[in-house]
Amino acid sequence: MGSARIAVIGTGYVGLTTGACLASLGHQVTCVDVDAAKVARLAVGQVDILEPGLEELVSRGLSTGRLSFVVGSRDAVADAEGVFLCVPTPMGAGGAADLRAVEAVIDEVADVLPAGCSVITKSTVPVGTAQRIRDLLGRTDIPVVANPEFLREGTAVSDFLNPDRIVVGADDQDAARWVADLYTDLSAPSVVTDAASAELVKYAANCFLAMKLSYVNAVAELCERLGADIASVTEGMGYDRRIGRSFLKPGPGWGGSCLPKDTHALVQVAESVGFDFSLLSAAIQENIAQRDRIVAKIAGAVGGTLAGARIGVLGLAFKAGTNDLRDSPALSVTAMLAAHGAEVTAYDPAVGGELPGMRVVDDPYQVAKAADAIVVLTEWDEFRKLDWAYIADIMHGDSVVDTRNLLDPTAIMDAGLCWLGLGRPRAGQSLQSTGFARQG
């Protein structure tokens, strides 16, 4: 296809990535946001979110004239051939997705959408949303297409431009194919289907990933109790092509802006049609239990009681490469530590400012000063390069609880400290070093 005229509503990490990447594929894109100050910054190429490659793509789009930013949706959609909805769909009451932002946009643009223009859902929306949008629009000349994103924060641009697959669903198959064709320059298989199936692909995929992680975290716990090493266990599992090597790293629990809300939403959706998705509910429970186990491990590392213990935390973001604190397991763990009376000092290379229940510092060595234990909660590479001998000197205690199995246990041990990972023998007990554990 040649160049299409596209409006993208919402300039969060999904919307902005979608807009900038579609412009880079040659389409004419207008991005819309309700936040006028943000639009003004974007219009001069200033990107607030930490997303590698995004600022460059936005600048290029602005200079080629293929990308522009405006405040009002009505003007932006007036001559569009496709309108992407990239507004937030947060977790609402009872765990179901809150669609108010989507509904507000539809309400705003319904009467100005040109005939034949496709309305395309990009943010994760519950199964049945395409139908709901059709009902709200009340127009038979506007096809509604589900085209879920599979973008990970921190690699969104590269995920968009090198996708594993493009999924498009609509009852109007011509409209679905038109949307699939927007991506023809990307070499990826497309699944063109009905709207409900496309909507469900996104939930089914994200919930599968969440279950995989809960499973790995539970197996890591089993490793500790049985004296096995999760690094070897996941290496052995990962070579099985049916399982795959990715998403097999244990951690303090899965978090972020997607997996927690999507798992709750799918449990709700299932319930609404009379199905008890107990498998998924168990994965959610396991994720809560994982945080409890991490806190118990930290308590054990400081002699059993957290009250008055000084805990130095490395990492607050829900994963490395982002400054996103939404549903970050690190925040749940630090809140639990504080609730047990621990004094928490935390450092994250991408997070500053004030946070409740802790002192946030801007130097990793400050968290170590007089700490009874150090806890790694986000897998930032720079933590691997810290000077552990110096840390051993300035610490009060000697435990390093590495909930991401990130650090080199030998380096910690050589500094005279005790390394405690997840599902791995303590440093000093016949630890096998497997490269896989680090790449995983």
Q: Which residues are catalytic?
A: 258
Rounded to a whole number of angstroms, the minimum distance from the CB of residue 327 to ligand UDX is 8
Closer residue to ligand UDX, CB minimum distance, 113 or 283: 283
- Minimum distance between the CB of residue 138 and ligand UDX, rounded to whole angstroms? 31
Q: Which is nearer to ligand UDX, 143 or 163 (CB)?
A: 163
Only one of the segments 17-25, 76-84, 138-146, 147-155 lies at the binding site for ligand UDX (rule: CB under 6 A); that segment is: 147-155
The full DSSP string for 349-410 is: TTB-S--TTSEE-S-HHHHHTT-SEEEE-S--GGGGGS-HHHHHHH-SS-EEEETT--S-HH
> Which is nearer to ligand UDX, 82 or 256 (by Cβ)?
256
Q: Which residue is nearest to ligand UDX (CB)?
A: 258
> Which structure tokens are listed for 37?
């100050």
* Shortest distance in whole angstroms from residue 246 CB to ligand UDX: 7
Segment near ligand UDX (CB under 6 A); pick from 88-96, 102-110, 145-153, 296-304: 145-153
Residue 199 CB, nearest approach to ligand UDX (Å): 14
Question: What are the φ/ψ torsions at residue 169 (nearest 5 degrees)?
Answer: -140, 135
Site string for ligand UDX, 294-323 (x = CB under 6 A): ------------------------xx----
Which residue's structure tokens are 């004239």? 65
Who contacts 352 (Cβ-Cβ below 8 Å, separation ≥6)? 360, 362
* Tokens read off for 213: 């992680």
User: Which of 428, 375, 369 is closest to 402 using CA atoms?
Assistant: 375
Instruction: Give CA–CA dist 278/276, Å, rounded.
Output: 5
Going by C-alpha positions, the residue among 161, 106, 151 that lies closest to residue 130 is: 106
Residue whose CB is less far from ligand UDX, 119 or 209: 209
**E-assigned strand segments in 4-81:** 5-9, 28-32, 67-70
> According to the binding rule CB under 6 A, does residue 84 interact with ligand UDX?
no
Q: Identify whether the C-beta of residue 391 lies closer than 8 Å to the C-beta of residue 368.
A: yes
For 2, the token pair is 């040649």
Coil, strand or helix at 60: helix
203 or 419: CB nearest ligand UDX: 203
**Nearer of residues 299 and 320 to ligand UDX, judged by Cβ:** 320
What does R_g of the chain's alpha carbons equal in angstroms? 24
| Nearest residue to 297 via CA among 173, 157, 405 | 405
Task: Give the whole-angstrom CA distance, residue 94 versus residue 206.
Answer: 19
Please state, as a whole number, how many other Cβ atoms lie within 10 Å of the Cβ of residue 320. Answer: 18
Least distance from ligand UDX to the Cβ atom of residue 49, Å: 12
Residue 261 in the binding site for ligand UDX (CB under 6 A):
no
Closest CA to 421 of 256, 265, 245, 293: 293
Residues 149-208 that bind ligand UDX (CB under 6 A): 149-153, 206
* Contact status: 260 vs ligand UDX (CB under 6 A): no
Q: What is the DSSP string of 179-242?
A: HHHTTTTS---EEEE-HHHHHHHHHHHHHHHHHHHHHHHHHHHHHHHHT--HHHHHHHHHTSTT
Site size toward ligand UDX, by CB under 6 A? 20
Contact segment (CB under 6 A) with ligand UDX among 65-73, 144-152, 266-274, 346-354 equals 144-152
Report in angstroms how near the CB of residue 202 gets to ligand UDX at its nearest.
7
Give CA angle at 411 (407, 414), nearest 5°: 145
Binding mask 212-231 for ligand UDX (x = CB under 6 A): -x------------------
Residue 103 half-sphere exposure toward CB, CA atoms < 13 A? 8
Establish if 397 lies at the interface with ligand UDX (CB under 6 A): no
Cross-strand partners of 29: 6, 67
Q: How far is CA 237 from CA 243, 292, 383, in A?
A: 7, 26, 27
Binding to ligand UDX in span 240-259, by CB under 6 A? 247-249, 251, 254-259
383 part of the interface to ligand UDX, by CB under 6 A? no
Closest to ligand UDX by CB, 143 vs 154, is: 154
In the complex, the smallest distance separating the C-beta of residue 249 from ligand UDX, rounded to whole angstroms, is: 3
Interaction with ligand UDX in 12-41: which residues (CB under 6 A)?
none
| 343 vs 402 by CB, closer to ligand UDX | 402
In the complex, minimum distance from the CB of residue 274 to ligand UDX, in angstroms, rounded to a whole number:
28
**Chain contacts with ligand UDX (rule: CB under 6 A):** 149-153, 206, 209, 213, 247-249, 251, 254-259, 318-319
